[in-house]
Amino acid sequence: MLIDLIRNHRSVDAIEVPPVGWKAHEEGVDKLLRSFHAVPKDKRVRLAKKTSNLFRGRSEQQAGLDVSGLGGVIEVDPIAQTAEVQGMCTYEDLVDATLPHGLMPFVVPQLKTITLGGAVTGMGVESTSFRDGLPHESVLEMDILTGTGEIITCSREENVDLFRLFPNSYGSLGYAVRLKIELRAVKPYVELRQVRFNDLNSLTHALDDVSRTRTYDDVEVHGLDGVVFSPEESYLVMARFTDVEGPTSDYTREKIFYRSLQHTRGIRRDRLTVRDYIWRWDTDWFWCSRAFGAQNPRVRKVWPRQLRRSSFYWKLVRLDRKYELEYNFIKKPKGLPRGERVVQDIEVTPDNLPKFLDWFFQASDIQPVWLCPIRLREGVEDLIGTGSLAADSPAPWPLYPLRPGQTWINVGFWSGVEGNHVDPSAPGNGAFNRVIEAKVSELGGHKSLYSEAFYSPEQFAELYGGDLPERIKAVTDPDDRFPGLYEKTVNDA
């Protein structure tokens, strides 16, 4: 079993990723379409993916589509600064194909095995989201496999409704087969300023100000995120890309990135290569590798470096889910109840961030949490009013309620609580997660749908596009070959 877990793991270092080319892409699309048409018309379909970054269940009662030929970069155009990318291409491969040209995607989600298609149909944020928005905002054009078995091309000018409603649809409207994306010129090194704050109001004020001005102490900021260990200890990490050579830190070995942020006062400075900055969180899955002992200095010395990556920790999680290792070998013998998984990314506006964090740290012992500001890209407001179905939506991307000109703060927390954390007599599962949903809604926020959700149909419609998911699905998937958005994200279809 252990050999199976370790086998075929890619090193944490860069490798050469050559483009697959258009001929291979066409062959991959043909393979996908053959697998689709081989499924009886009364049976639902899903992707037959080897990996997933979803933290919610999904039904296995669906036929898997063959996407084995759709995992590469088709071509990179360094002059136009664009890339043609297959839907199942991981960001790790995409980054390793573009960095040799001095280019990177506008927004690179934190984990290496997230796919471009998955980030666009789902949700992805990172430290460049305060200036470049979300991954789908740098998409110029997409080919999408719809429920009719057709490949439909969409963009800001063509099939605009599908283009605007595809983000945050989580495969309910189809799957991205090809995406043409913009790339950004990038320098080889990143200088970091890690600023400590001792109260949440000061942290929030600085976070909001930098998000809007893109500067701190009159120095330009290219990347911005933060970590909160407690209401009395938090840090903003401000990145600036540079071509100035110099010594760099390496957090793929003994040192741990999030622990390096901690200091007693003022500003701590650090330097990374651009690739190590992009993947600074993947090595220890933010801080979640501590659950496996990988941050224990003695264990870390013998933990193979190639296994310090989120994809390996995911395998350990799936093993635990399958055999309930923690419960059967640790909790059950001690008479302890099963815990509740609390894995969520929520968004609130800056004025409500201190209220949420104060409440969260009082309501649970989960720490730290991640902060990442989001502002939609300039010019995206031009999408409002386009299309026919989505024409009246006040949001450019109607299935996720972000408005131009507004800063939202993503708060990520990935842990668990003991037993029924809210009320031992309360029936039902997800008790603490339900309380979180209610608190976020009370503060006018919302959350990503990659993890468990417990909304009623009415609450869900209010937050995620009203009847638009059903209206566009009636066009792109009239035979209901894919589960609907509510079915997938709340009912785990």
Measure the CA–CA gap between 467 and 478, rounded to whole angstroms: 15
The whole-model pTM stands at 0.94
How confident is the model at residue 62, as a pLDDT? 65
- Residues comprising the chain, all counted: 493
- Average pLDDT, stretch 103-112? 97
CB 390 within 8 A of CB 467: no
pLDDT of 2? 47
Residues with Cβ < 8 Å from 271, sequence gap 6 or more? 189, 190, 191, 192, 246, 247, 248, 249
pLDDT at 54 over 70: no
Higher pLDDT pick, 446 / 321: 446
pLDDT band at 10 (very low <50, low <70, confident <90, very high): confident
Mean pLDDT of 184-189: 98
Q: Give per-residue pLDDT as tens, 324-360.
A: 877 676 677 777 778 888 999 999 999 999 999 999 9
In CATH terms, is domain 14-185 a member of 3.30.465.10?
A: yes
The pLDDT mean for the chain works out to: 92
- pLDDT category at 421 given cuts 50, 70, 90 is low
Mean pLDDT, residues 211-224 taken together:
97
Q: What's the rounded Cα separation, in Å, for the pair 329 and 40?
A: 43
* 80-106 confidence digits (pLDDT tens): 999 999 999 999 999 999 999 999 999
* DSSP annotation of 377: P
Residue 188 pLDDT > 50, yes or no? Answer: yes
Residues 6+ positions from 8 with CB-CB distance below 8 Å = none
What percent of the chain is modeled with pLDDT above 90? 83
Please report the DSSP string for 13-41 in residue order: S-------HHHHHHHHHHHHHHHHHTS-T
Q: Pairing relation of β-strands 45-47 and 63-65? A: parallel
Q: How confident is the model at residue 58 (pLDDT cuts 50, 70, 90)?
A: low
Q: Cβ atoms within 10 A of the Cβ of 111, count?
A: 23
DSSP state of 336: P
Question: In 3D, which of 472, 437, 373, 474 has the Cα closest to residue 168?
Answer: 472
Q: Which residues of 333-366 are buried (b: 16+ CB within 10 A; e: fewer)?
A: eeeeeebbbbbbbbbbbbebbbebbeebbeebeb
The band of 6, judged by pLDDT with boundaries at 50, 70 and 90, is low
